Amino acid sequence: QVQLVESGGGSVQSGGSLRLSCAGSGLTYNSYCMGWFRQAPGKEREGVAVIDVSESTRYAESVKGRFTISQDNAKNTLYLQMNSLKPEDTAMYYCAAVRQYYENSCYLRTDEYNYWGQGTQVTVSA
C-alpha cells in the first residue's frame, strides 16, 4: 500500500524560506514521477514542480527560480525547497506520485497522479 506523508509546512513572512518533505512507503521513488501540487482556498489544485526517474524537472512558471524539487532515493523522500516566498504561495501543498513508464513523461497535470499525501499547509504573510 502506497503512503505519502508530507511535512515541513508552516507560517513565514514574505521573502522567507521553507523546505517541504514527503516520505514515501510502498513505492520506490526511482520508478515514479514525483510531484508537488498546491491548492489555495477557492482555487483548483495546480502543479508546482515534478521530477522524473532521470531527475529531470518541470516547474510552474510562477515558481521558477524560487523553488527547487529534489529527491533522495535511498531515503524515499521528496523535497521542495521554497525560497523568496510570496503571499500568493499560500496554499495546502501535496505530494503525489504516479508510475513512470516512458522517458520525459512526467507533467504538472493533477489528473495524471494517482497517489496523494494528506498535505501540509504553507502560509506566507505580507
φ, ψ for residue 68, nearest 5 deg: -135, 125
Q: Report the alpha-carbon distance of residue 17 to residue 28 in Å, rounded.
A: 28
Q: Cell numbers 505530494 correspond to what residue? A: 95
Pairing status of strand 91-99 against strand 120-125? antiparallel
Render pLDDT for 72-100 as a digit per residue (tens, 0 to 9).
999 999 999 999 999 999 999 999 999 99
CA distances from 72 to 23, 26, 40, 79, 82 (A): 10, 15, 28, 8, 17
- The pLDDT score that the predictor gives to residue 76 is 93
The predicted-structure confidence for 30-49, as pLDDT tens digits, reads as follows 899 999 999 999 999 999 99
What is residue 81's predicted lDDT score, i.e. its pLDDT? 98
Pick the closest to residue 33 from 64, 57, 12 (CA basis). 57
Other CB atoms within 10 A of residue 125 CB: 11
pLDDT in tens, 11-26: 999 999 999 999 999 9
Residue 72 has a pLDDT of 94
